Amino acid sequence: MTNANPDIRRLFEPRSVAVVGASQDPEKIGHKILQNIVSSGYRGAIHPINPHGGEILGLPVLPDLAAVPGELDVVCTVVPGRFVFDSVKAAAHRGVKFDLVISSGFSEVGNSEEERRIVAYALAHGMRILGPNIFGLYSAAAPVDITFGPGGIVPGHVAIITQSGALGLAMIGKTAAEHVGISAMVSVGNKADLNEGDLIEYLVEDENTQSILMYIEGVREGARLVETLRQATRKKPIVVIKSGRSRRGAAAAASHTGSLAGSDDVFAAVMRQAGVLRAESIKEGFNLCKFLARTSLPKGKNTVIVTNGGGIGVLATDACEKYGVSLLDDTQRLHEIFSPVTPDFGSTKNPIDLTGGATEAQYEGALGAAAASDSIHAVIALYCETAMFDAAKLAPLFAENNTRYLQAGKPIVFSAFGGGSIDANIGRLAEQRVPVFDDVYEAVACLGGLYRHFRHRNTPPLVPEEVDLDLAALDEVIRGARADGRTFLLADEAQRLMRVVGVPMPRSRVAHSLEEAVAIAEEIGYPLVMKVVSRDILHKSDAGGVALDLDNRNEVIDAYQAILRNARAAVPNARITGIEVTEMVRRGLELIIGARRDPGFGPIVMFGLGGIYVEVMKDISFRAVPLNRAETLDMMAEIRAYPLLRGVRGEDPKDIDRVVDAVLRVATVIRRCESITDIEINPLVAYEEGQGVRAVDARVLLAKV
């Protein structure tokens, strides 16, 4: 394990860097990296390492790391995979803090053992590894560019962490072309040691960084990452682009919960829960991060659309609904603010329609009025090309208003739609980092992202709630199954477990005589179900071993005798342990509660509409554990069938509090009890308020030992 945990600041602000495998050959990666370090204006010490010696780019080449004088914060390893372990070993002995292993040929091609060996050695000597299989790291704070990218990174306020190498390298050029200023760019590659969570701990405190973009393919240490993200998103906006929406892997899982929990559904839910914004594409990710890095947080939710076109105003209104942007609808207030600057035939209802005849002065007036009003917290400024407005004046109008709004701390986005001269204006404005788009949806998506971030910051942090669990009693149930060599619980074990957990199952006991059956029936109350208990009778109904809807003592007596008779006739030598007498579950709303240890995110819970059509309906939602009541209610409210819980068409509302209790209890078990991997209650029948819930069937899977 780690002996020392070097200060992550030294990775981003190294005082010295060595490149092992620096080469004279300008075509080699080891040369390009050295060249980028030199040309990025790095002010610390740079040490090329190569047994051939000599000079590269005017720097004296040292034969090995042992020859480097003074402290050494960062080493970049660019030697063929088979030499990496020895190089890492030398770096660790040299007291290096971080080793950026560029080399490929490890877990990405199945060579996981060598990768583990390298990381274990480094950690045992207090050195951290970035990679392997990375293109490197750029940090504006140093500044230093330790990558083999094209160079010329434009410094700014967006940090990018990418798991994809080639895409990340290409992003370097793209960010420059798209005027996304970069505070840091980190390639995490195989994430054998350092991962997104470690890097975010630095970036969230880095004053250069105003927003963070992550490109993720798969998650390592998901539970820890979520915890880091939860805290980080309270300080800075984080946007994630995730590829790989495959359900493979999940499909093989043994429970509904497993197969429903397609990795992407879980990822999306968990990121939302952690306050991370999800972008569908790199373009959307860039747009969001660029905007979020510059704008200030709104002071409230009232947004106003200012437009010279009715159609584009309606499009923007639709987009606002899609992206969760609230439009100010106080018509009186809007009239007071905008009537002095709106033409008579325009509209002061939101969208504020200046009409196709709008002049530059009217635009200026409307944007000025919105900037000055405390009732307006954000603005969407739209422009459709007309002959009434000199397109050459558009760029200065938008740029000046952008500056005015930035200074006023009021978010604004722009959209302009028209021909070549409009596009040219958009290009010029983008260079000045004005958030302007030809597509109104792109503009509103940026504001929507800001509002999601704003709302997240304004929700109180989650204080987990857990229930007390008798872990010893749980263990006892599990031990029984283990002793039998099983990794699942039988129905009666699952019932016992649910009793310990405190999720109500139908009351039930096994009778061994007629008298006992009657006594149990009287105790539980009617209606009842009776079932034969025999390990030799698998299909109880087919064997006539089940009686439903028993309403009184006489029916219980008749059923007891009939079940024994039928069972003996159907399977003559069956060993009959007794007859189970069970409370008959009334009809109610059928729900499902699932919980599992997700390979990426650790414990998660699922809630949804239950019953036999659960996989067809897929009306489900997910959360990472731990949870509290508020978060559980949020999760429940996400399913389409939620109104059924609140009561529709004159029905009484269901006992939502008891459903929440059941979810929290299941969540606590999956978090606390590591030997349980999956729990599924389906259906959990919910009754009217005050009448509770009943878990009709519970399936529990255990970890393989």
Question: If binding means CB under 6 A, how many residues of this protein chain bind ligand ACO?
Answer: 28
3-state SS, one letter per residue, for 148-166? CCCCCCCEEEEEEEECCHH
Q: Which CB, 108 or 688, lies closer to ligand ACO?
A: 108
CA distances (Å), 481 to each of 424, 578, 623, 696, in order? Answer: 71, 21, 29, 21
- Nearer residue to ligand ACO within complex by CB, 25 or 431: 25
The angle at the Cα of 411, spanning 405 to 417, to the nearest 5 degrees, equals 90
Rule CB under 6 A: say whether 190 interacts with ligand ACO. Answer: no
| Least Cβ distance, residue 164 to ligand ACO (angstroms) | 7
The answer to the question of residue 87 lying near ligand ACO (CB under 6 A) is yes
| Interface with ligand ACO (CB under 6 A), residue from 102, 328, 595, 695 | 102
Residue 185: enclosing H or E segment and its boundaries? Answer: strand 182-187
- In contact, 84 and 132? CB cutoff 8 Å: yes
Based on the shown chain and the rule CB under 6 A, indicate whether residue 252 belongs to the binding site for ligand ACO. no
Q: Which is nearer to ligand ACO, 4 or 67 (CB)?
A: 67
How do strand 620-624 and strand 602-609 relate by DSSP bridges?
antiparallel
* Min CB(206)–ligand ACO separation in Å: 24
The minimum distance between CB 82 and ligand ACO, in angstroms, equals: 9
Q: Which of 8, 17, 18, 29 binds ligand ACO (CB under 6 A)?
A: 29
162 binds ligand ACO (CB under 6 A): no
* Shortest Å distance, C-beta 100 to ligand ACO: 11
What Å distances lie between residue 280 and 84, 174, 445, 584, CA to CA?
A: 36, 17, 11, 48
Considering the complex, what minimum distance in angstroms separates the CB of residue 269 from ligand ACO? Answer: 30
Shortest distance, CB of residue 138 to ligand ACO, whole angstroms?
14
Output the six-digit token pair for 35: 């060249």
Tokens representing 310 are 């009715």
Pairwise CA distance, residues 684 & 593, whole Å: 7
Give the per-residue contact string, 43-82, with ligand ACO (x = CB under 6 A; - = no).
------xxxx-------------------------xxxx-
Cβ-based nearer residue to ligand ACO, 61 or 532 = 61
Based on CB atoms, which residue is closest to ligand ACO, 30 or 351? 30
Place of tokens 């990496």: 84
The nearer residue to ligand ACO, 20 or 624, going by C-beta atoms, is 20
**Binding status of residue 27 toward ligand ACO by CB under 6 A:** no
* Residue least distant from ligand ACO (Cβ): 165
CB atoms closer than 10 angstroms to residue 602? 20
x/- mask, ligand ACO, residues 168-187, rule CB under 6 A, reads: -x------------------
| Rounded CA separation 367/365 (Å) | 6
Q: Out of 41, 55, 60, 83, which residue is the one contacting ligand ACO (CB under 6 A)?
A: 83
In the block, which residue shows the tokens 């050295």?
A: 34
Binding mask 111-150 for ligand ACO (x = CB under 6 A): ----------------------xxx---------------
- Tell me which residues in 5-24 interact with ligand ACO (CB under 6 A): 20-21, 23-24
Q: How far is the CB of 84 from ligand ACO (least distance, A)?
A: 8
Distance CA 338, CA 356 (A): 17
Would you say 319 and 274 are in contact if contact means Cβ atoms under 8 Å apart? Answer: no
Tokens of 127: 């050195």
Residue 193 C-beta: closest distance to ligand ACO, Å: 16
> In whole angstroms, what is the distance from residue 501 CA to residue 483 CA?
21
Mapping DSSP onto H, E and C, the string for 570-626 reads: HCCCCCCCEEEEEECCCCCEEEEEEEEEECCCEEEEEEEECCCCHHHHCCEEEEECC
- Closer to ligand ACO by CB, 108 or 638: give it: 108
**Longest CA–CA separation in the chain, Å:** 102
User: Does the protein bind ligand ACO through residue 165 (CB under 6 A)?
Assistant: yes
Q: Which of 83, 613 has the CB closer to ligand ACO? A: 83
Start-to-end Cα distance in the chain: 24
Residue 311's identity, in one-letter code, is G
Query: Least Å distance between CB 490 and ligand ACO?
Result: 50
**Least Cβ distance, residue 171 to ligand ACO (angstroms):** 11
Using the contact rule CB under 6 A, the part of the chain among 28-36, 112-120, 122-130, 611-619 near ligand ACO is: 28-36
In angstroms, the CA 185 to CA 214 distance is: 10
* Residues 592 and 620: beta-carbon distance below 8 Å: yes
- Name the minimum Å distance from CB 140 to ligand ACO: 21
CB under 6 A: which stretch of 27-35, 215-223, 318-326, 437-445 binds ligand ACO? 27-35
Cβ burial 558-593 (10 Å sphere, 16+ → b, else e) = ebbeebbebbeebbeebebebbbbbbbbeebbbbbb
d(CA 105, CA 666): 42
Q: Taking a C-beta distance cutoff of 8 angstroms, is the pair 397, 363 a contact?
A: yes
Residue type, 357: G
Using the minimum distance from each CB to ligand ACO, give the nearer residue, 51 or 460.
51
Q: How far is the CB of 426 from ligand ACO (least distance, A)?
A: 32
Residues linked to residue 136 through DSSP beta bridges, in sequence order? 147
CB of 21 to ligand ACO, least distance (A): 3
Q: Is residue 448 part of the contact set for ligand ACO (CB under 6 A)?
A: no
By C-beta, is 99 or 631 nearer to ligand ACO?
99
CA triple 520-526-531, angle to 5 deg = 60
Least distance from ligand ACO to the Cβ atom of residue 61, Å:
9
Which residues of the chain form contacts with ligand ACO (CB under 6 A)? 20-21, 23-25, 28-30, 49-52, 78-81, 83, 87, 102-105, 133-135, 165-166, 169
